[in-house]
Structure 1
Amino acid sequence: MTAAERHPKLLYWAGVALGPLAWGINLQGVYALAHFSCETTKLTGTIMSVALAIVALAGTAISARAVRRGVGAEWADAQGGGPRTFMAWLGVGSGVLFALVIANQLAASLVISPCLR
């Protein structure tokens, strides 16, 4: 397998990988910054959550682009391209789902005071 063949296959996995990765970083980051947010009002958690939601949506866009690019290849591929297309659609759904989860955690962190422990 050459690097040119491997590169498009990684595009199908972008939404599947970037969404959960962004959510995990967001979750741990919000918990780590909660102590410092209690002492002084900082927007670091909000900025971090917005940036990571954009990362999750970027993975969604990359997977969606891989779906569009691979539509014509399904007919040319002897195996039909079914598993790759399924993985790309799974990446689109996963990226959107994790972006919504990050947005919900952002809303909760804006409403609930970090000093309540």
Structure 2
Amino acid sequence: MRLPSTSAKLMAWAGLVIGGVAWAVNTQLGEILPTADCIGKHHVSAIISLFGALIVLGSGALSWRLDSRPSIGDDRSLPFSSRLSALAALVFTFALLMQGAASLVLSGCER
């Protein structure tokens, strides 16, 4: 019986972990960057949100791609964790896109 490698386990959880971290960082930057958006008119918050959404989408694709591999040994938790992680990455991507859209609608100068 051959167990999945550590890198395969980490790739299975990539969408969930990277998605959660990216969303948390974007939420914190959403508190800081509206002032820069108001002053510079460059929509930095929207750009960072879009970049984060692309990273999370890529990590979700990595997790989903791992699900297509055949099961290794008797460990059936790897397909479940990779599917869960890929779906969580979609939720985090949606949240990041909504935060980016909000930063486009609100300029940061509203106070």
- Do both proteins adopt the same fold according to a TM-score greater than 0.5, normalized to the shorter chain? yes
CA contact (8 A) 2:16 2:88 kept: yes
The residue number in structure 2 matching 1:44 is 44
Unaligned 5+ segments in structure 1 are none
| TM-score of the superposed pair, with normalisation by structure 2 | 0.88
Aligned residues: 108
The residue number in structure 1 matching 2:103 is 109
Hey, what's the Cα distance between the residues in 1 that align with 2:91 and 2:15?
A: 10
Unaligned 5+ segments in structure 2 are none
| TM-score of the superposed pair, with normalisation by structure 1 | 0.84
The residue number in structure 2 matching 1:73 is 71
Helix, strand or coil at the partner of 1:73 = coil
Bigger helix share: 1
The residue number in structure 2 matching 1:32 is 32
One-letter amino acid of the structure 1 residue matched with residue 43 of structure 2: L
Superposition RMSD in Å: 1.5
CA contact (8 A) 2:37 2:108 kept: yes
Q: How far off is 1:7 after superposition?
A: 1.1
Say if 2:57 is the partner of 1:57: yes
Identity %: 30
The range that moved more, 35-44 or 92-101, is 35-44
Q: Which runs of at least 4 in structure 1 moved beyond 4 Å after TM superposition?
A: none
Hey, what's the Cα distance between the residues in 2 that align with 1:10 and 1:50?
A: 24
Deviations 1:59-117 (A, max 9, x none): 11010011012xx225xx1x3x3211111111011000000000011111111231112
Hey, what's the Cα distance between the residues in 2 that align with 1:6 and 1:36?
A: 41
